[in-house]
């Protein structure tokens, strides 16, 4: 049995690559999918495809059309969603993906530093499991096959 894991959130470290490698090293039957991690490409994708927009609002909306389509396609394929929050940025799209996942009954793991306990408390409470680092998240995945 192979499981698909959607990795939402932080795109400024290579945690996805790390998880993938460790999962392979442990020979877990996992396929990882996730958002576009090239931040620039993710911001440009709307204008890249449908052309120059008349301002930032429209440019952002055009990019979001396509980023949200991507997320919807891949999250619907996912058996499990992991959402990673970091110290930087508003990360509302990460909160959005996490909330959508749990509302769709996708099992949800949140990774967040201790410093974010309070602002993430309601979302953490809705998640199945909240951990503080990638290693812990991987252990949760590993336990499914144990």
Residues 31-70 that bind its own copies (CB under 8 A): 31, 33, 36, 41, 45, 48-50, 54-58, 60-61, 63-70
| Phi, psi (rounded to 5 degrees) for 32 | -100, 135
Q: Which residues pair with 30 in a beta bridge?
A: 3
Q: CA–CA separation, 59 vs 6, rounded Å?
A: 26
Instruction: Give min distance, CB of 30 to its own copies, in A.
Output: 11
The CA-CA-CA angle for residues 27, 29, 31, to 5°, reads: 115
30 forms part of the interface with its own copies (CB under 8 A): no
Compare residues 19 and 80 and give the one whose CB is closer to its own copies. Answer: 80
The answer to whether residue 109 forms part of the interface with its own copies (CB under 8 A) is: yes
Interface with its own copies, residue 20, by CB under 8 A: no
- Residue 119 is a binding residue for its own copies (CB under 8 A): yes
**What sections of 1-146 are H helices per DSSP?**
15-25, 39-50, 56-77, 92-103, 121-126, 134-145
The residue from 98, 111, 113, 134 that contacts its own copies (CB under 8 A) is 98
Comparison of 27 and 105: residue with beta carbon closer to its own copies: 105
Q: Is 28 helix (H, G, I), strand (E, B) or coil?
A: coil
């Amino acid at each position: 049995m192979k499981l698909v894991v959607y990795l939402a959130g932080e795109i400024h470290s290579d945690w996805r690559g790390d998880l993938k490698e460790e999962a392979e090293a442990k020979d877990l039957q996992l396929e990882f999918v996730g958002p576009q991690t090239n931040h620039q490409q993710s911001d440009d994708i709307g204008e890249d495809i449908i052309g120059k927009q008349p301002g930032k609002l429209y440019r952002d909306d055009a990019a979001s059309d396509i980023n949200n389509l991507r997320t919807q396609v891949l999250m619907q394929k996912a058996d499990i969603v992991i959402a990673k929050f970091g110290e930087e940025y508003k990360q509302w799209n990460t909160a959005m993906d996490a909330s959508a996942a749990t509302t769709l009954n996708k099992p949800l793991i949140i990774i967040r530093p201790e410093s974010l306990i309070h602002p993430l408390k309601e979302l953490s409470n809705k998640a199945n499991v909240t951990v503080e680092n990638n290693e812990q998240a991987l252990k949760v995945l590993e336990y499914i096959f144990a």
